[in-house]
Copies of this chain bind each other. A is one copy, B any other.
Amino acid sequence: MATGLAYGVKAIRPFASLDECRAMKSEGYFIAGERNGDKVPGFDLGNSPFDYMDPLLKDKSIAVTTTNGTVAIEKSQEASQIVIGCFLNISAVAEYLKEQENDALILCAGWKGKVNMEDSLFAGALVEKLQNDFANECDAPLLVQAAYQDMSHNLLALVQSSSHAKRLHKLNIYEDIEYCLKMDLYNIVPVLKDGEIVLLQETTTP
Contacts and interface: CB of A to CB of B under 8 A. Distances in A.
A139 B108 CA distance: 13
A138 interface: yes
Contacts of A151: 146
Contacts of A162: 139, 142
Interface stretch (A11-19, A40-48, A115-123, A196-204): A115-123
A147 interface: yes
A115 B140 CA distance: 5
**Interface range on chain A (Cβ under 8 Å from partner):** 20 to 34
Of residues A138, A139, A163, A164, which shows the largest number of chain B Cβ atoms within 10 Å of its Cβ?
A139
Interface string A97-123: 000000000000001001111001000
Contacts of A111: 138-139
Interface of A: 111, 114-117, 120, 136-140, 142-144, 146-147, 149-151, 158, 162-164
